[in-house]
Each structure stands twice: as C-alpha cells, then as structure tokens.
C-alpha cells in the first residue's frame, strides 16, 4: 500500500512542480508587479523585493506597493473601452460560432458514418496549421483590392470596393474563422454520440424534423455547446493576433492593449494590471462551467 | 376511407435489403384489430427491421404496408398512426417522466389541462402514479420499461409496435410483466406487435406468433398450432425440445402417413405440402408424448440417464441403432414403467403425436 | 444525406479552406500583386531559400519545438497517468486545473507572466526560456490526449497483469505504455506543432536574442501581403498536414483493447 502511494506521488510530482513553477508562480508575480510602479531600470519596475533585507525589507517592499495601475485602468476610458469591447467581440463571435458551429457539427453528425472520420479530419487540419498564417490569409481576401472585393465587383454586386479590412467586421470574421474548429469539435463529439433511437422515438411520437432538432437534439447537445463556448470565449478575450492584423488602429482589445503597454510603452506594471483584469474577466466563465472545461479540452484535442 | 372489412394492418410482400443482405425478404402478413401478435426469431432474422418498416424508420424496397387499407409509404414516421416502444426504451434523458409522456401529446391540439389529465391516466395505467416529476435515470429498469410503454401508448396508436419490450428486465420481473402487458392489451383493445427472440415469451403473450428465419416469415399461427404442428424442423426446434427420426415418406391416408425408418415403420401426421412418396423426411416427436409401453409393443430402448428438473423429469434413452431419444414427464407422476438407468424398456407414442417434416 | 446537410457541410468546409487555398495558390503566382495572376512560378520559393534570417528563424523554431515537445510529452503523460490511474489525492482539483488551464489561458497572460518570472529569477531570456514556456502549455494538450486514451482503456488489462505477478513498473512498461503509445506520439506531434505555431508567448519570453519563425513571419506580415510569406506559409501548411495525417493515423490505429 505505502509503496503504491509512494509511486502515485512520484508520478504526479514532476508535473506538479513544473506547472507550479511555470504557471502558478508566474501569476503570483504578475499580481505583485501589477501593484508596482514603472521605472527606467532593468527590471523596469519598482519596488524590487530585497531578499536579504529580512523583515524590514519586506515591510518597505509592502509599503511601496500601491493600486495606482488599477486606478489608471479604471480612470482611463481607453482601458475601460478595451475591456468592454474585448467582451463584446468575444461574446458576439461566440454567439455567431454557436450558430455556425451547431449547423456544421449537426451536418457532420448526420453525414453517412463512413464519411465522418474524414469530415472530422478536415475540421481538425486547420486547427493544426499555423494560426498566424490562417489569419494572415484573410488580409489578401478582405483588403480593398483583395479577392472578396474583386469577386463582388466582377459580379456587379457592389459599385465600389468595400472597406472590410481594418474594421470590426474583419475582426469578427477572423475570430469566427480561427475558432470554428474549437466550437465544432466538442459539439460534434456530443452530437455524434447521441442515441439515434432518441430521434426516432421523437419522430414516432409525432415530432417533425424541426421539432426533433429543437426538443431533442439541441437540448441533449447543450454540454457540447457550453464546452465549445468556453473554449472559444476565453482565449478570444485575450486575442492579440486577430485584432492586430485584421482590425483597424481603433480596434481595442485587452490582448492588444497589454501587448502595446508591454512592447511599445515598456510599462510592465500596467501590462501586468491588464493581465490581472483579463484573468478576472475570463476566470468567471471558467468557474461557471468548471465541469465542462476539462471535457471541452478533451473533445477538442481528440 | 377505412376498409372496415379488411385487416387493420396488411403487409404485402415487404422486402428490405441492406447492401447484399436481404433483411426482410417478401413478408406478407395480416393483423386484425385488437390482436396480440408476436414476431419470433433469432437476432438478425429481420423481425426488428420489419417493425421499423411499419414504423417508417426504414423504407420498403418492394411491397406495400397498408393501415386500414391506406398505403403508409408516403407517410414519414411522425405522421404514422402507429407508435413504437424501443428496445432501449429511448427515454429522453433531459425530460422528466411527465415530459416524456407529454412529448407525443403536444401537437395533438390538446389543452394544457387535457394533457395533464392524460398524463395522470397514463401513469395510473402503468402503476407509476406520483413519479411524473422524476428523471428517467433515477428510475429502476422496470419503471423505465413502464414509462416507455406509457409513452408509446400516449397517442392511442392503432397499432403498438414493441421491440423486445421485456428484453432488458431480469427473469422474475419479466414473467410478472408478461401478464401485465397481456392484461393491458386486453383492456385497451389496441393491436400489439411484439418482437422477441424468446419462444416462451412469445407463447405467453401472443394470440398469434409469426416465426421468422433469414428475412422470411416461415410459419404463422397460435402457440399451440406452432408447437403441435410445426411446418419445419426449424420451427419445431425453436418452440421446444423435439426428437427427430430420419426416414422415407410412404403412403398418405386420412391425414396420416407412414414413414420408413431404420427403426422400422412409423405413422405420423402427414406434412401440409405434398412431398411425394419416397421423399426424405423427419419424424418429429415431442419428448412429453413418449411413454413407456408394455413389452412386445413399440420400440425397445435402454435408459441412459434420468435428470430431475423440478417440475419435470427428463430421461435420455438409447435405441437399438444407437439413436438417442429424450422424454419428459411430470415429476409428480408415478415412475411406473421407468427402470433405473441401465435398465431396458419399451416406448410408444400415439400416431397423431408424431409430425412428419421435410428433411 | 439531405440537401440541407450537404449545403451546411459544403459551406462550412469552404469557409475553413478557402483562405488556405488562396494562400497556397498565390504562393505560385509569378506576379507580386495579390489580385493579379501572373502565371505559375516558383520564384518566391527561391527567394525564400535565399532569405538567411528566415531560414535561421526556422531552425530556431525547429529546435525549440523538438525540445519543448519532448518535455511536454513526458510531463503530460505523467499528468494523465496521475489523473486517470493514480487515484484520488489531496489537491486533485488544483492539479487538474493546473494541467488544463494553460490550454485556454489567453496567450498574452501566459507570455507576460512567464517573462516576469524569468526576469524575477534572473534567467536569461532566449531559446531556453521559449522551450520552458512552450513545454508548459504543451503539457496540457498531451495530457488531454493521453488521458482520453487511458479512459478508453480496459482497466482489467492492467489488473490482469498485476494479478499475474507484474509489479507496478512492469505493468506500466509491458501493458499500459504499449497501449497508450500511439496517443503519446500524437500528443508529441500536437505539442510540436503548437510550439512551431506560437507567436505571442515566444515574443514575450524570447527577448532580443532569439527569433522564432512565427516572430520573423509576423514582423513581415505587419508590412502587408507578401508572396514570399505565402511561399513560407505553404511549406508550413504542408508540414502541418503531414503531421496531422500522422497523428490521425496514430490515434485511429486499433490496438488490442
């Protein structure tokens, strides 16, 4: 018994240590630095904890901490807007994804079973290919002299090229495109495992195809929908590449604000405060759907 | 509209193939109103497919299915006035028991109170009063079975299709439920079609049994008729233990025929179809019809083994040519005439207890 | 299959693949303009091969991906075993969260906090830092894939081995490991591609010293559409395609179970 307990502990020790050191501790540090102030030094923030100062060092250190970065964030409309628009972008894109993803996943689950592995592979392949490149590909399609405008002009549907790139619409297209596999896969996983006799039973009891979908298929796929929404919403809140490449300079999202505070303004404490705010925003949904989060990951990776 | 004279449900030369496999191969069947019919056969014989053809989940490759004289072909499942109880029950896990029962009632143009009243009645019918608010996964197997039954009855179908309705229940519960199902069908007067692989269940439930083999309906009749007068070796063996003695068909007279076997000549009920004199046949005798005879008549045999089975005693006997026969007698009956194992005796059976089957 | 199903599948797959196909097609465009087809040409591939910094960045990425995927595979497999085979333990909830959270965590947060850690403990930014960062978020993905396989595995196989006298280590080596090997390999490939793909985390922790391929591509992409990037993208897509097919084959392969 004790030997096997020892073995159990040995099995989980390495991941415990690694993830604590490189995932948990960094958050604590981020939280601490968000309470510091910027300085032109290396590292560019104050105070730096003096380990050798003993108790006195600690108290000076603690006294020097302050909430000024959060006051800046709260006071400046730029940051407030960035937070709100992050949520709005992620929320809107998640809603669109729920519709598009449900349609696609349902179609996959209803396709002949010998095609289904191929269809799953086709949805998974983009997920494995470079995110940066897939977003970049949209520039050539969406820009004023791009393919979409060229096609629409040729068809005579529009008189002059549409301004799509560098708008909110382009960001939404990019978000929906890049995260579609994350929505489709958990939904498909649930839908393909639904007992087909449940649909037959509903039809047998007089429900037409539409009623069967709304009263049986969809409610029983709710877990997949929640998982997909979680997998999309959380990373989208902090998305950087999509707003940066497809959005205009006025497209504000927290991920982008954090990036520019860090790389352009070199304000590490403020960037840390943005990270903490972002974390709080996304921790909400995680807590809400805690049980689904793990399953969601499992479905997506499959 | 409805053909009052004709059968309630008529299946005409129904056929369904899955790839190269003929699941249902030219089945014709008439079902009367209020009849309790059983489709009996091993798994894969096409009985469930036939049920699904009637319900509309599969479409016919050939033939017709008529309900009260009306062809069902153009009706999708949700418009057919038949309902099905699924083998897996297929209870909606996200709905309560009442929600499951209400599912089929919505869309019938009933008011909310009417639906509630119907649900109460259905719950009473299957003795689940007060369980309407429960979720299916909190019920026992027997309770789930009754919810599935009540749900299928909610729309008052003209024909109720039941796919292995008792298959998931354990033995004691199954026997009890057989009686309930039978009583329920009598009370409602609806036609029931049950699919089962269990001959005892078919005999306990049905007015009429249709035996299926490899997609074909091979014989149809009451339990007694099928048991006493099987048309083939397959049906004879399916419904119970049987002794088969190979032989050669002789002359036929008055419904009886003679059969020449290695053990000598026998008489038995002539086959329904004319096989022609000299045809290879099997003489089929049920074990319980074989009795000891006084010396000098019947067959001489040696008792090999006696097995006590509770209500019956089974004996295994060896004939002079090495053939083994099995007999079965009520345990309470006196053991007169039966020797100890190793002893010898004579056996006989009445000529009408033997059925002549094509070999 | 109904017309509706076909339409949904057609539109969905077209949406997923149109941008990728456009990219690949224009990587063979002789013209430098995106909307003008100037005939078939491989000139951008030639330019690509001659692009020293880009090739160097590709090598850096490859080294980082190999090293980080190897670490992530080891840690992820152990984590999956801890979660699926080694029972309940104190802090299991936190452990589960730690394993899976890096997968959904916005990359800017992971990147920034790791950088702050590295600066705080005085670790030099650069190649090693990227490897550590990528191994951290790759671990979760490997754990998910291996755990799914472990869940699907008939536990009585391991119990039978133990019953036949195998010690835990031998049970693992002779029964568990061979059965989960395909998923471990698939996990490695996923961690490898994710590392190869990552821009945000690498940008934070790389510092001035190391440049990965996505970082190099990003700096050029910001300047607009560029046929040479199309060519590089096509090669990356082809690599990913081969890896996906391999991983699908590995996870789909039926082992005795």
Q: CA-CA distance, C44 to C25, in Å (whole number)?
A: 12
- Using N-to-C axis directions, what is the helix angle for C92-104 and A2-19, rounded to 10°? 30
Q: What is the pLDDT of residue B138?
A: 94
* pLDDT number for residue B161: 96
Residue A95 contacts C where some CB pair is shorter than 8 Å: no
**End-to-end CA distance of chain C, in Å?**
33
Q: Which chains touch A (3 or more CB pairs under 8 A)?
A: B, C
Which one, of A264, A235, A236, lies nearest residue A249 by Cα?
A264
Q: Could B155 and A206 be called an inter-chain contact, meaning their C-beta atoms sit closer than 8 Å?
A: yes
| Helix (H) or strand (E) run with residue B66 in it | strand B62-67
d(CA A166, CA A42): 36
In the prediction, which pLDDT does C256 show? 31
Average pLDDT, chain B: 91
Cβ atoms of A232 and A183 closer than 8 Å: yes
Q: Quick check: A2 pLDDT over 60?
A: no
Contacts of A107 in chain C (CB under 8 A): 4-6, 8-9, 12
Mean pLDDT (chain C, rounded) = 86
The answer to whether residue A302 scores a pLDDT higher than 50 is no
Q: Could you read off the pLDDT of B166-193 as tens digits, one per residue?
A: 988 888 888 889 999 999 999 998 999 9
What is this structure's pTM? 0.82
Chosen for mutation from B51, B52, B90 (greatest number of chain A CBs closer than 10 Å) is: B90
pLDDT, tens digit (0-9, with 9 covering 90-100), for B52-82: 999 999 999 999 999 999 999 999 999 999 9
What pLDDT shows up at residue A180? 94
Q: What pLDDT digit, counting tens, does each position of A239-277 carry? A: 999 999 998 888 888 898 899 888 888 888 888 988 988
d(CA B35, CA B186): 9
Question: Does the complex come out with an ipTM higher than 0.95?
Answer: no
**How confident is the model over B33-37, as a mean pLDDT?**
94
- Which of residues A230 and C250 earns the better pLDDT score? A230
Q: Using beta carbons and an 8 Å cutoff, which residues of A are at the interface with B? A: 195, 197-198, 200-208, 211-212, 215-216, 219-220
pLDDT at site C142: 94
Q: Does residue B261 contact residue B280 with C-beta atoms inside 8 Å? A: no
For residue A85, give both structure tokens: 């628009």
Q: What residues contact A156, with CB distance under 8 A and at least 6 apart?
A: none
- In this complex, do A206 and B76 lie within 8 Å of one another by their Cβ atoms? no
- Which of A197, A202, A220 is nearest residue B103 as measured by Cβ atoms? A202
Using one digit for the tens of pLDDT, what is the confidence trace for C11-39? 999 999 989 888 888 888 888 776 677 78
C-alpha distance from A14 to closest chain C C-alpha (Å): 7
* pLDDT for position B359: 82
Q: Is the pLDDT of residue C253 over 60?
A: no
Give tens-digit pLDDT for A130-181.
Answer: 888 889 889 888 888 888 888 888 888 888 888 888 889 999 999 999 999 9
Best residue in A82, A99, A107 for a mutation probing chain C (most C CBs within 10 Å): A107
CB nearest to C197's CB, from A130, A138, A259: A130
Q: Please say whether the structural domain C51-252 has been given the CATH code 1.10.3720.10.
A: yes
Q: Count the Cβ atoms, other than its own, within 10 Å of residue A292.
A: 23
Tell me if A204 and B103 make a contact (CB, 8 A cut-off): no
What count of other Cβ atoms lies within 10 Å of the Cβ of residue B20? 5
What is the sign, positive or negative, of the torsion defined by CA atoms of A41, A46, A48, A50? positive
Q: Is A214 on the interface with C (CB under 8 A)?
A: no
For residue A299, the distance in angstroms to the closest alpha carbon of chain B comes to: 21
End-to-end CA distance of chain B: 47
Q: How many residues does chain A have?
A: 302
Give contacts of C 52-71 with A, CB under 8 A.
Answer: none
pLDDT tens-digit map of C161-213: 888 878 888 888 888 899 899 899 989 998 998 899 899 999 999 988 789 99
* C contacts of A14 (beta carbons < 8 Å): 74-75, 78
- Mean pLDDT in residue range A32-45: 75
What single DSSP character describes residue B69?
Answer: T
Please, what sign has the CA dihedral across residues A215, A217, A223, A228? Answer: negative
Of A198, A207, A211, the CB nearest to B90: A198
Q: Which domains does chain B have, with CATH numbers?
A: 9-228 (3.40.50.300), 241-358 (2.40.50.140)
pLDDT > 90 fraction of chain A, expressed in percent and rounded: 31
pLDDT, tens digit (0-9, with 9 covering 90-100), for B271-319? 888 888 888 999 999 999 998 887 777 788 999 999 988 888 999 999 8
Over residues B73-122, the pLDDT tens digits come to 999 999 999 999 999 999 999 999 999 999 999 888 899 999 999 999 99
Cβ contacts of B207-210, under 8 Å, gap ≥ 24: B207/B35, B207/B36, B207/B37, B208/B35, B208/B36, B208/B37, B208/B38, B209/B37, B209/B38, B209/B39, B209/B40, B210/B29, B210/B37, B210/B38, B210/B39, B210/B40
Q: Could you tell me the domains of chain A?
A: 76-301 (1.10.3720.10)
Q: Where are the alpha helices (DSSP H) in chain B?
A: 47-55, 97-103, 112-125, 141-153, 171-188, 199-205, 223-228, 233-239
Rounded distance between C-alpha atoms, residue B280 and residue B275, angstroms: 9
Model confidence at A113, pLDDT cuts 50, 70, 90, reads confident
- Minimum distance, in Å, between the CA of residue B75 and any CA atom of chain A: 11
What the block records as the tokens of A222 is: 């709710």
């Amino acid at each position: 018994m004790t030997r096997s307990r020892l073995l159990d502990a040995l099995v989980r020790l390495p991941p415990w240590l690694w993830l604590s050191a490189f995932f948990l501790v960094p958050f604590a540090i981020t939280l601490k630095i968000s309470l510091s102030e910027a300085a032109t030094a290396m590292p560019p923030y104050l105070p730096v904890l003096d380990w050798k100062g003993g108790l006195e060092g600690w108290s000076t250190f603690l006294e020097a901490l302050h909430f000024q970065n959060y006051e800046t964030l709260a006071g400046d409309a730029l940051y407030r807007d960035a937070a709100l628009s992050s949520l709005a972008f992620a929320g809107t894109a998640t809603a669109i994804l729920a519709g598009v993803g449900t349609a696609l996943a349902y179609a996959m689950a209803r396709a002949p079973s010998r095609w289904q592995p191929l269809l799953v592979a086709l949805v998974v392949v983009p997920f494995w290919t470079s995110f940066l490149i897939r977003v970049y590909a949209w520039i050539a399609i969406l820009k004023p002299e791009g393919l979409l405008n060229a096609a629409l002009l040729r068809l005579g549907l529009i008189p002059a090229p549409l301004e799509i790139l560098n708008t909110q619409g382009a960001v939404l297209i990019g978000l929906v495109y890049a995260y579609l596999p994350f929505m489709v896969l958990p939904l498909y996983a649930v839908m393909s495992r639904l007992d087909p006799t449940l649909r037959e039973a509903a039809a047998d009891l007089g429900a037409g195809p539409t009623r069967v979908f709304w009263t049986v298929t969809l409610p029983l796929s709710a877990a997949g929908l929640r998982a997909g929404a979680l997998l999309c919403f959380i990373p989208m809140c902090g998305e950087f590449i999509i707003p940066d490449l497809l959005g205009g300079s006025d497209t504000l999202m927290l991920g982008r604000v954090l990036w520019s505070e860090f790389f352009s303004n070199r304000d590490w404490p403020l960037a840390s405060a943005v990270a903490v705010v972002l974390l709080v925003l996304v921790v909400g949904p995680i807590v809400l759907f805690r049980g689904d989060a793990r399953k969601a990951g499992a479905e997506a990776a499959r | 509209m409805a053909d009052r004279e004709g059968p309630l449900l008529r299946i005409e030369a129904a056929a369904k193939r899955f790839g190269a496999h003929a699941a249902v191969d030219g089945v014709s069947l008439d079902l009367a109103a209020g009849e309790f019919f059983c489709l009996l056969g091993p798994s894969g014989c096409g009985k469930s497919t036939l049920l699904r053809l009637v319900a509309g989940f599969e479409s016919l490759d050939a033939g017709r299915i008529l309900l009260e004289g009306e062809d069902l072909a153009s009706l999708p499942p949700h418009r057919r006035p038949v309902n099905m109880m699924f083998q897996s029950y297929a209870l909606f896990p996200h709905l309560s028991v009442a929600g499951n029962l209400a599912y089929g009632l919505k869309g019938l143009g009933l008011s909310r109170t009417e639906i509630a009243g119907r649900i109460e009645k259905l719950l009473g019918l299957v003795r689940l009063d007060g369980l309407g608010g429960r979720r299916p996964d909190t019920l026992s197997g027997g309770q789930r079975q009754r919810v599935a039954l009540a749900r299928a009855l909610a729309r008052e179908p003209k024909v109720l299709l039941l796919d292995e309705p008792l298959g998931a229940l354990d033995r004691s519960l199954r026997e009890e439920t057989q009686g309930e199902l039978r009583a329920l069908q009598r009370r409602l007067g609806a036609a029931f079609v049950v699919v089962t692989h269990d001959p005892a269940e078919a005999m306990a439930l049905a007015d009429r049994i249709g035996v299926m083999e490899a997609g074909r309906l091979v014989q149809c009749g009451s339990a007694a008729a099928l048991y006493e007068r099987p048309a083939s070796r397959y049906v004879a063996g399916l419904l119970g233990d049987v002794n088969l003695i190979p032989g050669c068909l002789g002359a036929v007279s008055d419904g009886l025929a003679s059969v020449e076997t290695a053990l000598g000549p026998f008489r038995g009920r002539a086959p329904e179809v004319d096989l022609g004199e000299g045809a290879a046949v099997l003489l089929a005798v049920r074990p319980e019809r074989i009795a000891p005879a006084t010396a000098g008549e019947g067959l001489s045999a040696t008792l090999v083994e006696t097995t006590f089975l509770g209500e019956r005693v089974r004996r295994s006997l060896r004939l002079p040519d090495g053939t083994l026969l099995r007999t079965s007698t009520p345990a309470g009956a006196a053991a007169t005439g039966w020797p100890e194992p190793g002893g010898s005796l004579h056996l006989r059976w009445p000529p009408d207890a033997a059925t002549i089957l094509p070999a | 299959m109904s017309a509706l199903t076909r339409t949904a599948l057609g539109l969905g797959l077209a949406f997923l693949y149109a941008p990728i196909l456009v990219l690949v097609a224009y990587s063979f465009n002789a013209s430098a303009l995106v909307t003008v087809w100037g005939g078939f040409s491989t000139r951008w591939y030639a330019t690509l091969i001659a692009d020293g910094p880009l090739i160097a960045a590709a090598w850096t990425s490859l080294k980082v991906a190999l090293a980080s995927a190897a670490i992530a595979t080891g840690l992820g497999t152990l984590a999956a075993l801890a979660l699926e085979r080694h029972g309940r333990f104190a802090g299991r909830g936190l452990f589960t969260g730690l394993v899976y959270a890096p997968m959904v965590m916005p990359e800017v947060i992971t990147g920034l906090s790791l950088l702050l850690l590295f600066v705080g403990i005085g670790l030099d930014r650069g190649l090693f830092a990227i490897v550590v960062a990528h191994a951290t978020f790759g671990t979760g993905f490997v754990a998910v894939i291996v755990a799914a396989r472990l869940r699907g595995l008939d536990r009585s196989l391991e119990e039978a081995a133990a019953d036949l006298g195998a010690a835990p280590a031998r049970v693992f080596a002779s029964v568990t490991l061979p059965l989960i090997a395909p998923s471990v390999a698939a996990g490695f490939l996923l961690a490898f591609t994710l590392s190869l793909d990552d821009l945000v985390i690498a940008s934070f922790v790389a510092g001035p010293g190391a440049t990965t391929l996505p970082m190099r591509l990003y700096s050029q992409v910001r300047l607009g559409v560029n046929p040479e990037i199309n060519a590089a993208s096509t090669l990356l897509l082809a690599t990913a395609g081969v890896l996906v097919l391999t991983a699908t084959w590995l996870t789909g392969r039926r082992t005795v179970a």
